[in-house]
Amino acid sequence: MGKTLFQKVWESHSVATLSNGQTQLLIDTHLIHEVTSPQAFGMLRDLGLKVAYPQRTFATVDHIVPTDQREEPFSDSLADAMIKELNRNAKEFGVTYFDLRSGKQGIVHVVGPEQGITQPGTTIACGDSHTATHGAFGAIAFGIGTTQVRDILATQTMALSPMKVRRINVDGELRPGVYAKDVILHIIRLLGAGGGKGYAYEYGGSIFDGFTMEERMTVCNMSIEGGARAGYVNPDEKTFEYLKGRPYSPKGEEWDKAVAAWRAVASDADAVYDDVVNIRAEDVPPTVTWGVSPDQAIAVNEQVPTVESGTNAEQRISIQEALEYMKLEGGAPIKGTKIDVAFVGSCTNGRLSDFREVARFLKGKKVAGHVKAIAVPGSQIVDVLARQEGIDQVFTDAGFEWRGAGCSMCLAMNPDKLVGDQLCASSSNRNFKGRQGSPTGRTILMSPLMVAAAAVTGEVADAREVFALSA
């Protein structure tokens, strides 16, 4: 009987069975950042332990870095204390650190792949729920809490129970103006924010075969919003092509050996899945969220649900709560909803291809007068590459601010926050209450091009109409 990639990687990385029945799993690569690691290093010190395999831990700073003024010390004393702590911990424990001066700093889930650290068939963990991003390379990658960060620092392993595997096939052709972001928002809408509980999602089908690595990353990134702790795409020629020649990729003879191993780790043709979901690509519309959970999503040309449309009492309460918070009216079109802020960036959609795609259509257009629009590259490397292509210029000419690399307004732990009940058209991954830094701030998730359409028109808009894409 064939095996899934998940099973193969799980088996090859199992070190022992623990007394409670969980598996002690070897973690090949540990990524850390300033928010969820300081307490873990504190615990190590309390226990008198060192980092067991420091060459397997890679640090960067992303959540709290300002995107405008980036000189240390930061004006926010709490943020400054955090970066100082990471500076100190990286040095003291001897882990590789892509700091602000390295030219390689960025969102941890952008940095790993672009450095070639993220590789097929490996296990990757990070104290951040969007670690599933790295699954785009056929890695088993998941988010963990700080105590587990400690466990991995101290032992390069963690205690974990295996997951089931749900295969999600998307086949056919995506319509113009429909992007990877729409695919994952659509999947979450169909399966629910808790639908992936207990599963790793294996994404496949002709759409994923055709997707670039960056598109695959966008989808895998939001597995957690669907309740799946990990999500992956089987490695293929595109994966190898992307990794070839990157700083941490294998070189020379090692490369050939690695590619052979990577090929072998993909799910077998006769692999058995715990569940299979089939989606027609033609059915995926440009999708936007309307509520306060990522599964509260609709097509851009649909109406916001009414309370009555809820199928049970809980659902009706949820809809009502979301409508009240979002200040939207059930039954009204989402299109035309006035926005205040537009944000292109995040570990979901802050890569070169995201900015490149927007720039293609933004040229010659202007951001509406009342909209504050910011573009935040996912890494310093993305920033440099975008500048080389003149992409930053297209954004700034249109009225966007082009910023330095970081998580920025996705979770607003830096100064980039919504104010009051501002509504943000955002290419990020979460529309939770207060997510973007204001307790009453409102978020509508969408693809980067849809954010651009909203920025230009000043309201939620259909990018296909705004940018004359043939539907």
Partner 1 sequence: MALTKVTQIAGTAVHVPGTDIDTDRIIPARFMKCVTFDGLGEFAFYDVRKNPDGTDKPHPLNDERFKGANILLSGANFGCGSSREHAPQALYRFGFRAVIAESFAEIFFGNCTTLGIPCAVAAHNDIVALAKEVERNPKLEVTVDLLEGKVFFEDQEFAIIVPHTAREALTTGQWDPIAELLENKDAVDAKIRELAVVA
- The rounded distance, in Å, linking the Cα atoms of 302 and 129 is 30
CB closer to partner 1 out of 177 and 350: 350
Minimum separation from the CB atom of position 250 to partner 1 (A): 7
- Pick 103 or 420: Cβ nearer partner 1: 420
Nearer to partner 1, 129 or 212 (CB): 129
Q: Are 413 and 407 in contact (CB under 8 A)?
A: yes
Tell me whether residue 224 or residue 304 sits nearer to partner 1 (CB atom).
Answer: 224
- In this complex, which beta carbon is closest to partner 1, that of residue 168 or of residue 207? 168
**CA–CA distances in Å: residue 62 to residues 66, 383, 411:** 9, 14, 11
Torsion from C-alpha of 298, 299, 301, 304, nearest 10 degrees: 0
Strand-pairing partners, residue 375, are 344, 402
295 or 459: CB nearest partner 1: 295
Q: Min. distance of Cβ 173 from partner 1 in angstroms?
A: 32
Q: Look up residue 187 and give its two tokens.
A: 């999947």
Please say which residue, 193 or 384, places its beta carbon nearer to partner 1: 193
Residue 365: both structure tokens together? 């257009």
* Choice between 8 and 464, CB closer to partner 1: 8
In the complex, what is the shortest distance from the CB of residue 219 to partner 1, in angstroms, rounded to a whole number?
18
Please say which residue, 430 or 464, places its beta carbon nearer to partner 1: 430
Instruction: Give me the least distance between CB of 247 and partner 1, in Å please.
Output: 16
Q: Helices 391-398 and 352-362: crossing angle, nearest 10°?
A: 50
Question: Shortest distance, CB of residue 35 to partner 1, whole angstroms?
Answer: 6
Tokens 């490996």, residue located: 122
CB nearer partner 1, residue 115 or residue 293: 293
Dihedrals phi, psi of 159, to nearest 5 degrees:
-90, 130
Question: Closer to partner 1 at the Cβ: 309 or 388?
Answer: 309
3-state secondary structure the chain: CECCHHHHHHHHCEEEECCCCCEEEECCEEEECCCCCHHHHHHHHHHCCCCCCHHHEEEECCCCCCCCCCCCCCCCHHHHHHHHHHHHHHHHHCCEEECCCCCCCECHHHHHHHHCCCCCCCEEEECCHHHHHHHHHCCEEEECCHHHHHHHHHHCEEEECCCEEEEEEEECCCCCCCCHHHHHHHHHHHHCCCCCCCEEEEEECHHHHHCCHHHHHHHHHHHHHHCCCEEEECCCHHHHHHHCCCCCCCCHHHHHHHHHHHHHHCCCCCECCCEEEEEEHHHCCCEEECCCCCCCEEECCCECCCHHHCCCHHHHHHHHHHHHHHCCCCCCECCCCECCEEEECHHHHCCHHHHHHHHHHHCCCCCCCCCEEEECCCEHHHHHHHHHCCHHHHHHHHCCEECCCCCHHHCCCCCCCCCCCCEEEECCCCCCCCCCCCCCCEEEECCHHHHHHHHHHCECCCHHHHCCCCC
Shortest distance (Å) from residue 122 CB to partner 1: 8
For residue 129, the minimal CB distance to partner 1 (Å) is 4
Least Cβ distance, residue 17 to partner 1 (angstroms): 10
CB of 363 to partner 1, least distance (A): 35
CB of 38 to partner 1, least distance (A): 4
How many residues are there in the chain?
A: 471
Find the shortest distance in angstroms from Cβ 246 to partner 1. Answer: 15
Q: Give whichever of 24 and 393 is closer to partner 1, judged by the CB atom.
A: 24
Q: In whole angstroms, what is the distance from residue 103 CA to residue 206 CA? A: 36
- Closest distance of CB 101 from partner 1, Å: 21
